Structure 1
């Protein structure tokens, strides 16, 4: 199901949503399609997007009214649920509109909002992404898509080689894409934990972090190497006046979703439990302005080192 000459909207311009929307707007401009319409609670966050030609909406309902394909990239389950409910409670008809949610939320949330949207005659696709803000900026994200096949096929042209390099099909049930995203987060957070442990080991034994980082990158690939650079460059604890690449509270939320589902299905995730506990301890010690890799700070403290390394902020 491809809508001919759709008007596309975007809601949510955080650390992931903004670079994704910018790539989409560049594509629309390059292919002489109607400019993206966007909305964000802090509308000033969309200034880089507006500079590319995108058009701000004064509120969410205006965006939904004007557009027939609406992408969302929102912070958490509560924000997504409230956003969809506000649309459902409005008088705006949404029959045949396509909603594409890229947020990372619990599968139960995906199922709930999908029922709400489909009950009003619209179509809901779950399309969470794999990769951080730097990957989003390059348009190299991996997307998982769950939902009605014809609609999913129709929006591929706005994802493949635009915002992402790969789409993984998850079938007709939107919640399956959310399940895949949560499963991927188990790997991501365990890998961050492992890289942090290796780098603390390297520092404490006198080997040094440079040699360890080179090994991590060469033997385990660019993703693991990128996680190592978050530590050695101090990004795990950035300056207080900056925004972390992917905030620790979002990562803790993702870990909780995975642990909750694992409990429901009698699956043990001991590695993720450790990563979750270390991230929580880091946030308790150093506050919200931390990257998802900040379990490294707790690992440092446990080894007798300061939470801060030489390139991070110092308090």
Structure 2
């Protein structure tokens, strides 16, 4: 595999994978790329696992994936699960020095800044004889992408891509994510053929500006978050009116074929189905879904983006308020020792609608059922 990206976005298409908008990378070279992964949270763990598991399809028979996570128990768990398919790094600096393609999947913008600062510090005095591609898959504010690109640009032979993904951890486990990419075209080709189909099922190319993919990610998340907010309000009304949340959810399931006829796998059919079931069953375990802190971070980023472009989106303002309400209520329950879950899923934002309607936040009172004659 050639890892010598060009700065041109012009290319000649050729037949490739159905999930990729790119032609195949150049003919493999004598250099076998070393792949690294930093960040093994709920999403990163599954993605790194799939990347390592599908290493047989990597160019030139790439060796084990080098992984790092701040909490060592996560790397230990992955090593126990995959054995020789992964190696554990001592630091982000080791990943930067030893690897040719480096993926990052981190929870906050602050964590991303810290890790990339460590990358730069490690590479500043290193003599690089081959290129490196850094692939940021986290959900970050768009201007941070520009900062990271500038941070690495002073180091010769380095290239930076933004490549956030759509889908929950369950979709990540099944390699059913959708990835959006922006940055250098040749680098995108290299990375695209590493991740499809083993890690993601489809890549959407957004051009050379590295801020475009993070912007698109926030737009997509606004659709998902808005859908969850609308669903939470409707489920609350179904409860209070006596129609029944179970009946409303049956309607959602019945309209699934119609929804899927004009939507992707994630918007809005899946949020209505997946998060509707969580609201119906009051199952708000964030360790099995998308933690509410991540939802609040994303909602904050979306609102900041809306402000920057003078583009109001009231449903996100309301969803943000309900996320904060749910977290505050959960913290109050934790203080009393009665919290059901250690971490809340962001679908728990329904608590905001429920409390406003005079209902308990995370459970149902005895519902008034529809009397069927």
Same fold (TM over 0.5): yes
Runs of 5+ unmatched residues, structure 1:
none
What is the CA distance between 1:10 and its match in structure 2? 0.2
Runs of 5+ unmatched residues, structure 2:
4-28, 260-268, 332-341, 366-373
> Secondary structure at the residue paired with 1:243?
helix
Q: Deviations over 1:105-124 (max 9, x none)?
A: 00110110011112212000
> Secondary structure at the residue paired with 1:173?
coil
User: What pairs up with 1:157-172 in 2 under 5 angstroms?
Assistant: 157-172=193-208
Match for residue 21 of structure 1? 48
Structure-1 separation of matches of 2:251 and 2:191: 40
Structure 2 residue corresponding to 1:257, chosen from 301, 320, 333: 301
User: What pairs up with 1:1-315 in 2 under 5 angstroms?
Assistant: 2-3=2-3, 4=29, 5-29=32-56, 32-50=61-79, 51-52=81-82, 53-90=85-122, 91-93=125-127, 96-121=131-156, 122-219=158-255, 220=259, 221-236=269-284, 238=285, 243=287, 245-287=289-331, 289-309=343-363
What is the CA distance between 1:218 and its match in structure 2? 3.3
What is the CA distance between 1:263 and its match in structure 2? 0.8
Structure-1 separation of matches of 2:184 and 2:326: 41
Match for residue 19 of structure 2? none
> Secondary structure at the residue paired with 2:152?
helix
**RMSD of aligned alpha carbons:** 1.9
| Structure 1 contact 61–92 (Cα < 8 Å) conserved | no
What is the CA distance between 1:27 and its match in structure 2? 0.3
Structure label with greater radius of gyration: 2
Structure-2 separation of matches of 1:266 and 1:222: 29
| Structure 1 contact 2–153 (Cα < 8 Å) conserved | no
| Structure 1 contact 2–150 (Cα < 8 Å) conserved | no
> Secondary structure at the residue paired with 1:146?
strand
| Structure 2 contact 35–102 (Cα < 8 Å) conserved | yes
Structure-1 separation of matches of 2:317 and 2:2: 43
